[in-house]
Amino acid sequence: MTPDIRVKICGLGTDATLEAALEAGADWIGLVHFAKSPRHLDLARAGALSRRAKGRAGRVLLLVDPDDALVAAAVERVEPDLIQLHGRESPERVAAIRHLAGRPVWKALGVAARADLGAVAAYRRVADRLLLDAKAPPGADLPGGNGRAFDWDILRGADLPEGTMLSGGLTPETVAEAVRRTGLSAVDVSSGVEVRPGEKDPARIRAFLAALRPGP
């Protein structure tokens, strides 16, 4: 597998798992600030982990439908390199948050059917990167991180922006096949490297990176 595939390990919450992701070569580490998530961090804890990762990987702060006050507080206290929006933010809201934050913004889009890719055209104009995640099941509390994959063949022949990221149910066992089938050059994992919701496994983090970057 080519080392050109870029990897984000999301939902980190401890020094040990953060170090595992950094030492394994993650390109980005993700910190979640969303109270309903088992991966939720308050801004103080997210800021502490962000400082540990500074200069070692891109620091992504995940927010869900944040208001202006939260965006401002998050930027000040966490100092992320970029923000990932994982709620129902409109294209206009994505653009506004990008301006307010003064840094790149990624937007996650839920995918369950080919028709869901219709949102790509509107968001590609305002987001610095799009992340395609499995659409949450009806009634789910979480917009992502549900351990579900979507049918990757939905993406066959789709007009997607350069750098589009694949997410949703990826694991160390499936990620190489996912990259082969979709042709995407960036992947995001959260639940796929956990032993239970919110508890990352350093060994699975290392295995995920090794599946894409095998040694000699």
Q: What is the CATH number of the domain that holds 167?
A: 3.20.20.70
pLDDT of residue 195: 95
pLDDT of residue 70: 98
User: Residue 83: pLDDT above 50?
Assistant: yes
Q: What is the dihedral of CA 62, 67, 68, 69, to 10 degrees?
A: -90
Q: Which of 4, 10, 42, 141 is catalytic?
A: 10
Look at residue 110 and tell me if it is in a domain: yes
pLDDT for 120-149, tens place per residue? 999 999 999 999 999 876 555 555 545 679
pLDDT for 88-128, tens place per residue? 999 999 999 999 999 999 999 999 999 999 999 999 999 99
Residue 128 is a catalytic residue = no
Look at residue 145 and tell me if it is in a domain: yes
Question: What is the number of structural domains in the chain?
Answer: 1
pLDDT for 148-188, tens place per residue? 799 999 999 999 999 999 999 999 999 999 999 999 999 99
As a whole number of angstroms, the distance between CA 100 and CA 94 comes to: 10
pLDDT of residue 142: 58
Phi, psi of 17 (to 5 degrees): -75, -35
Look at residue 57 and tell me if it is in a domain: yes
pLDDT for 22-76, tens place per residue? 999 999 999 999 999 999 999 999 999 999 999 999 999 999 999 999 999 999 9
User: Residue 80: pLDDT above 50?
Assistant: yes
User: Residue 1: pLDDT above 50?
Assistant: no
Look at residue 1 and tell me if it is in a domain: no
Going from the C-alpha of 19 to that of each of 2, 67, 129, 135, 175, the distances in angstroms are 23, 31, 25, 30, 21
As a whole number of angstroms, the distance between CA 24 and CA 41 comes to: 22
8 A C-beta contact, residue 213 and residue 3: yes
Please name which of 154, 182, 158 lies closest in space to residue 170, comparing C-alpha atoms: 182
- 80 CB contacts (<8 Å, ≥6 apart)? 31, 50, 59, 60, 61, 74, 103
Global model pTM greater than 0.75:
yes
Residue 133 is a catalytic residue = yes
Q: Which of 65, 116, 133, 151 is catalytic?
A: 133
Look at residue 30 and tell me if it is in a domain: yes
pLDDT of residue 48: 98
pLDDT for 8-22, tens place per residue? 999 999 999 999 999
